[in-house]
Amino acid sequence: MKKRKAVVEVMQPRHHSGEIAANVERILLELGEDPSRDGLLKTPHRAEAALRFLTSGYHMNVEKLLNGALYAVKYDEMVVVKDIEFFSLCEHHLLPFFGKVHADYLPKNKVIGLSKIPRIVDMFARRLQLQERLTQQVAQTIMEAIEPLGVGVIVEAKHFCMMMRGVEKQHSGAMTSAMLGAFRHRKETRDEFLSLVSHSGMQF
């Protein structure tokens, strides 16, 4: 079966020309605000800086992020990193969604530095995203990086597009999962992973 490649396209950063700030100022005018008043005077530039940070994942790549932190080791039990906090922007409304990622893999010949998994999560979360895509990208990247027997990723998130607009349900959350290799094909492996993270409910 042909492997699916994770989306790891690296975009070249643009010069901070202030174009985003200028457009934010126009948006404020369209909303009926006065961008020259004290409270909004620097808002366009702050908004540009915030957006550039929140989408900085476009300018990151896996090889540089991992920086060789892959280690040959004889270990055949699960490696779980859970409760990884993340913040992202929904590509449909540019509103935040946030939550936790639980990542697990079953090593074959090597392991990855534990701190690298949260960094992988941040790389993909700091883009305009869908929760489903984020889940798959994290799982596929771990799979390609160390070629384990399997990878499992669960993402729990709250979406401001549901909480602040639309259905306006503040207590609703979404859960997505990606199961690759042994986690997809072996029920006992999948069940063990689910039992390890089942008590990690999101608290708000």
Contact 176, 132 (CB under 8 A): yes
Interatomic CA distance for residues 190 and 116, integer angstroms: 23
Contact 51, 43 (CB under 8 A): no
Amino acid at 196: L
Q: Phi and psi for 182 in degrees, rounded to 5?
A: -60, -30
Instruction: Write out the catalytic residue numbers.
Output: 90-93, 131, 159, 161
Contact 6, 121 (CB under 8 A): no
Contact partners, residue 91, CB within 8 Å, separation at least 6: 128, 129, 130
C-alpha distances out from residue 181 to 143, 144, 149, 156, Å? 9, 12, 6, 22
